[in-house]
């Protein structure tokens, strides 16, 4: 089960991939091959043979900020705008009034673990010297600093000081709402599935009239950002000991050390080589532990070729049932909704995560199996290099014999590879469906289950 039948694939299709860039970033590609082998993967397998190239391109795209200059961007788009006499009005008057660009979606790569994190960025400034900047430049400048290995506070500070240097306004404020994928704590994973998908960080940086964190103008900014509650209290204090990246959480490091899981030196060197290829100094203080942190994440997705030990799952097994022609509707549809999962896209070595919904019909005499067992099966297929389509099918095939044969499995997920790279489709998500038994022929049963799915996703 789960082995790919690759014989049916028309290999000539794959060959049309733009071959001219095969040798793009050869050091990064070589490093990714080492990582794939370290995960126990066959680097010539169809799904991943171009993964080193894809990862190299994605990383290069994610770090173009090192080569760009915020000053050029801003100073090319400063426009004269008459303001009122400064003697007559206060700091927020006339053309000197507050200007805010809200809800700029960005992504950046975490310097602590090399995974992308999402940013909702808000920039405010108070024009002075009768000059305003083209609004889109605030977004472009944000991107210059986001497209580097970053930490939220530094990203906010970098943006703030670059804007202040070029714009020479009365003050700049930057607020970043950051979302970082949660690292599941594997040891408690199979017991506790309540872990949320995202870790949230809120940081700010201010200059000029925004330099004083208690200045009234911050309150005005928050009002216009529609942050109604006491957001100021939630902003992370500078130099606080709370590291936001879960790779720095003590529990994870404890797991890593308690299990004595030293990562293979070749894999550590590979990650170090990637960091160096991006133009960063792997010895920089903040990057020193990054290879270990990244591997703590990555090694969750090690390939295990052995079949799942199904025996231990088959407690209430009913066995796959032959279709007997009766509609499922006449039986009851049970469901287990919102089982979280984490996985790693095999095409880009980037996380995707979300929830699985399982529906099944219980014939009389079949006792439903427990949620924790279903959750374990979901995790088992999540923790490997995957594509969502295969993951969904594997879960369906595994749970079907345990649940009486008639199952429908829906996976809903956010894919980092749709957010980072050149795609940047921030709100997008993917749903996949697999059905077995009655569900494959009974449209009413499918509809009944699909309509019962929760309409709000918080993965």
Candidates 192-200, 237-245, 261-269, 426-434 — which segment interacts with a second copy by CB under 8 A?
426-434
**Alpha carbon 156 to chain centroid distance?**
20
For a second copy, give the closer residue by CB, 134 or 282: 134
Candidates 203-211, 240-248, 327-335, 408-416 — which segment interacts with a second copy by CB under 8 A?
408-416
Q: Given candidates 20, 191, 194, 226, which one binds a second copy under the rule CB under 8 A?
A: 226
Closest CB 124 distance from a second copy, rounded Å: 8
Closest CB 52 distance from a second copy, rounded Å: 15
Candidates 59-67, 178-186, 324-332, 447-455 — which segment interacts with a second copy by CB under 8 A?
447-455
Residue 459 binds a second copy (CB under 8 A):
no
* 367 CB burial (10 A radius; 0-12, 13-18, 19+): exposed
Q: Given candidates 161, 248, 417, 459, which one binds a second copy under the rule CB under 8 A?
A: 417
What gap in Å lies between CA 308 and CA 434, rounded to an integer?
19
Residue 165 binds a second copy (CB under 8 A):
no
Residue 173 binds a second copy (CB under 8 A):
no
For a second copy, give the closer residue by CB, 226 or 285: 226
- Residue 112: CB atoms within 10 Å: 23
Q: Given candidates 188, 223, 327, 332, which one binds a second copy under the rule CB under 8 A?
A: 223
Closest CB 393 distance from a second copy, rounded Å: 5
| Geometric angle at alpha carbon 344, from 154 and 446, rounded to 5° | 125
- Kindly write out the interface string for residues 102-141 of this chain, putting x where it contacts a second copy by CB under 8 A and - elsewhere: xxxx---------------------x-xxxx-xxx--xx-
Phi/psi-derived region of residue 10, left when phi > 0, alpha when psi is between -120 and 50, beta in every other case: beta
What gap in Å lies between CA 32 and CA 444, rounded to an integer?
46
Candidates 110-118, 255-263, 296-304, 384-392 — which segment interacts with a second copy by CB under 8 A?
384-392
Helix axes 290-298, 265-277, angle to 10 degrees: 120
For a second copy, give the closer residue by CB, 147 or 421: 421
Nearest to residue 70, comparing CAs of 177, 155, 127, 131?
155
Residue 16 binds a second copy (CB under 8 A):
yes
Residue 397 binds a second copy (CB under 8 A):
yes
Residue 233 binds a second copy (CB under 8 A):
no
For a second copy, give the closer residue by CB, 139 or 269: 139
Closest CB 111 distance from a second copy, rounded Å: 24
Nearest to residue 388, comparing CAs of 335, 443, 350?
350
DSSP 157-224: HHHHHHHHHHH--SEEEEEEEEEEE----HHHHTT-----SEEEEEEEEEEETTSSTT-HHHHHHHHH
Closest CB 446 distance from a second copy, rounded Å: 6
Closest CB 285 distance from a second copy, rounded Å: 33
What gap in Å lies between CA 96 and CA 131, rounded to an integer?
9
Q: Given candidates 396, 399, 402, 403, which one binds a second copy under the rule CB under 8 A?
A: 396
What gap in Å lies between CA 53 and CA 181, rounded to an integer?
24
Residue 144 binds a second copy (CB under 8 A):
no
CB 70 within 8 A of CB 166: yes
Nearest to residue 193, comparing CAs of 457, 343, 378, 412?
378
Q: Given candidates 37, 43, 68, 99, which one binds a second copy under the rule CB under 8 A?
A: 99
Nearest to residue 415, comparing CAs of 339, 354, 337?
354
For a second copy, give the closer residue by CB, 165 or 424: 424
User: Which of the residues 258 through 287 are near a second copy (CB under 8 A)?
Assistant: none
For a second copy, give the closer residue by CB, 3 or 306: 3
Q: Given candidates 393, 398, 399, 403, which one binds a second copy under the rule CB under 8 A?
A: 393
Which structure tokens are listed for 261? 């899981």
DSSP conformational letter for 259: T
Which residues does 317 contact at the CB level (< 8 Å), separation at least 6?
Answer: 401, 402
What gap in Å lies between CA 232 and CA 218, rounded to an integer?
9
Residue 72 binds a second copy (CB under 8 A):
yes
Nearest to residue 303, comparing CAs of 35, 6, 5?
35
Residue 389 binds a second copy (CB under 8 A):
yes
Residue 322 binds a second copy (CB under 8 A):
no
User: Which of the residues 21 through 60 are near a second copy (CB under 8 A)?
Assistant: 46-47
> With contacts defined by CB under 8 A, how many residues of the chain interact with a second copy?
96
Residue 339 binds a second copy (CB under 8 A):
no
């Amino acid at each position: 089960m789960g082995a790919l039948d690759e014989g049916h694939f028309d290999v000539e299709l794959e060959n049309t991939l733009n071959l001219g860039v095969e040798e793009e970033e050869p050091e990064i590609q070589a490093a990714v091959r080492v990582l794939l082998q370290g995960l126990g993967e066959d680097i010539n397998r169809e799904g991943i043979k171009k993964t080193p190239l894809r990862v190299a391109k994605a990383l290069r795209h994610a770090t173009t900020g090192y080569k760009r200059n915020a000053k050029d961007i801003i100073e090319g788009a400063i426009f004269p705008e008459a303001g009122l006499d400064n003697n007559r009005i206060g700091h927020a008057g006339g053309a000197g009034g507050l200007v805010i660009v809200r809800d700029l979606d960005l992504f950046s790569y975490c310097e602590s673990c090399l995974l992308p994190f999402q940013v909702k960025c808000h920039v405010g400034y108070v024009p002075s010297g009768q000059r305003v900047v083209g609004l889109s430049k605030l977004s472009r400048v944000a991107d210059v600093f986001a497209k580097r290995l970053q930490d939220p506070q530094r990203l906010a500070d970098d943006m703030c000081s670059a804007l202040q240097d070029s714009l020479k306004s009365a003050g700049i404020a930057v607020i970043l709402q950051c979302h970082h994928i949660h690292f599941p704590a594997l040891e408690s994973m199979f017991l506790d599935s309540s872990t949320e998908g995202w870790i949230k960080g809120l940081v700010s940086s201010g200059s000029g009239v925004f330099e004083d964190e208690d200045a009234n103008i911050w309150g005005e900014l928050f009002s216009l950002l529609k942050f109604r509650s006491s957001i100021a209290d939630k902003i992370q204090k500078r130099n606080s000991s709370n590291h936001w990246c879960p790779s720095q959480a003590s529990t994870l490091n404890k797991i890593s050390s308690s299990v004595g899981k030293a990562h293979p030196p070749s894999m550590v060197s590979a990650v170090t080589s990637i960091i160096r290829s991006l133009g960063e100094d792997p010895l920089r203080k903040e990057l020193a532990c990054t290879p270990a942190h990244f591997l703590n994440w990555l090694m969750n997705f090690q390939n295990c070729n052995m079949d799942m030990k199904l025996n231990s799952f088959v407690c209430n097994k009913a066995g796959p049932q032959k279709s007997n022609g009766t509609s499922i509707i006449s039986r009851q549809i049970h469901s287990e909704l919102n089982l979280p999962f984490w996985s790693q896209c095999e095409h880009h070595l980037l996380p995707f995560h979300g929830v699985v919904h399982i529906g099944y019909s219980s014939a009389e005499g079949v006792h439903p199996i427990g949620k924790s067992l279903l959750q374990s099966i979901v995790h088992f297929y999540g923790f490997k290099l995957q594509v969502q389509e295969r993951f969904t099918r594997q879960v369906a095939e595994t749970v079907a014999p345990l649940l009486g044969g008639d199952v429908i499995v829906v996976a809903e997920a956010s894919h980092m590879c749709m957010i980072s790279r050149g795609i940047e489709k921030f709100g997008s998500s993917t749903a996949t469906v697999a059905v077995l038994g009655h569900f494959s022929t009974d449209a009413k049963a499918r509809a009944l289950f699909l309509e019962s799915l929760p309409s709000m996703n918080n993965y």
